Amino acid sequence: MRKNYKVTYTRKGYKPKKKLDVEKFFMHIGLPILIIAVLFSGVAIAKNMSTPKYDETIIGSPYSEQLLSLPAPTPTPVPRDDGVAPSFEAEYVQAYNGYEGEKIAYLTFDDGPTSNITPRILDVLKEKDVKATFFVLGKMVEAYPEMAKRAVQEGHVLANHSYSHDYKSVYDSKESFFDEIKRSEELVINTVGEEGYTRVFRFPGGSAGKPDEYKLALSEIDYVYVDWNALNGDAEGHNVAVSTQLANIKETTNGRSSAVILMHDAATKDTTVAALPQIIDYLRSQGFTFKTLKR
Ligand SMILES: [Zn+2]
Q: Omega into 75 within 30° of 0, i.e. cis?
A: yes
Nearest to 231 by CA among 200, 257, 259: 259
Task: Give the rounded distance of the alpha carbon of 157 from its chain centre.
Answer: 17
Which residues does residue 134 pair with via DSSP β-bridges, in sequence order? Answer: 109, 158
Give the separation between CA 184 and CA 178, rounded to whole angstroms. 10
Q: Do the beta carbons of residue 105 and residue 283 sit within 8 Å?
A: yes
Domain that holds residue 30: 2-50
Residue range 197-206: mean pLDDT, rounded:
92
Based on the fold, state whether residues 24 and 146 are members of the same structural domain: no
Based on the fold, state whether residues 39 and 69 are members of the same structural domain: no
- Residue ranges in 163-269 assigned as alpha helix (H): 167-170, 174-192, 212-217, 242-253
pLDDT for the residue numbered 209: 81
All residues with CB under 5 Å from ion ligand 1: 110-111, 204
Based on the fold, state whether residues 123 and 42 are members of the same structural domain: no
Residue 295 placed within a domain: no
pLDDT for the residue numbered 27: 72
How does 94-119 read in b/e, with b if 16+ C-beta sit within 10 Å? bbbbbeeeeebbbbbbbbbbbeebbb
pLDDT for the residue numbered 37: 67
pLDDT for the residue numbered 293: 87
Based on the fold, state whether residues 38 and 72 are members of the same structural domain: no
Per DSSP, the chain holds a count of helices (H) and strands (E) of: 13, 8
Q: What pLDDT digit, counting tens, does each position of 100-125 carry? A: 567 889 999 999 999 999 999 999 99
Based on the fold, state whether residues 125 and 229 are members of the same structural domain: yes
How far, in Å, is the centroid of ligand 1 from the Cα of 111?
A: 5
pLDDT category of residue 25 using cuts at 50, 70 and 90: low
Nearest to 60 by CA among 269, 208, 159: 208
Based on the fold, state whether residues 176 and 211 are members of the same structural domain: yes
Q: What pLDDT digit, counting tens, does each position of 164-184 carry? A: 999 999 999 999 999 999 999
How far, in Å, is the centroid of ligand 1 from the Cα of 283?
A: 23
How far, in Å, is the centroid of ligand 1 from the Cα of 9?
A: 69
Residue 56 placed within a domain: no
Report yes or no on whether pTM surpasses 0.75: no
Domain count, the chain: 2
For 110-153, the DSSP string reads: ES---SSSHHHHHHHHHHHT---EEEE-HHHHHH-HHHHHHHHH
- CATH number of 94's domain: 3.20.20.370
Q: Which of 12-26, 87-101, 218-232 has the lowest mean pLDDT?
A: 87-101
How far, in Å, is the centroid of ligand 1 from the Cα of 223?
A: 17
Residue 159 placed within a domain: yes
Based on the fold, state whether residues 142 and 176 are members of the same structural domain: yes
Residue 93 placed within a domain: yes
Instruction: Sort strands 288-290 and 258-264 into parallel, antiparallel or unpaired.
Output: unpaired
What one-letter code names the amino acid at 15? K
Based on the fold, state whether residues 44 and 161 are members of the same structural domain: no
pLDDT category of residue 66 using cuts at 50, 70 and 90: very low
pLDDT for the residue numbered 207: 83
Tell me which residues are annotated as active site: 110, 264
On the 0-12 / 13-18 / 19+ scale of CB atoms within 10 A, 250 is: middle
Q: What pLDDT digit, counting tens, does each position of 260-294 carry? A: 899 999 999 999 999 999 999 999 999 999 989 88
Based on the fold, state whether residues 37 and 69 are members of the same structural domain: no
Based on the fold, state whether residues 137 and 16 are members of the same structural domain: no
Residue 203 placed within a domain: yes
Residue 229 placed within a domain: yes
- 282: how many CB neighbours lie within 10 A of its CB? 16
pLDDT category of residue 230 using cuts at 50, 70 and 90: confident
Nearest to 97 by CA among 123, 66, 133: 133
In this predicted structure, the answer to whether residue 146 has a pLDDT above a threshold of 90 is yes
Residue 69 placed within a domain: yes
Based on the fold, state whether residues 135 and 249 are members of the same structural domain: yes
Last residue of a domain, one of 50, 72, 90: 50
How far, in Å, is the centroid of ligand 1 from the Cα of 109?
A: 9
Based on the fold, state whether residues 114 and 80 are members of the same structural domain: yes
Residue 75 placed within a domain: yes
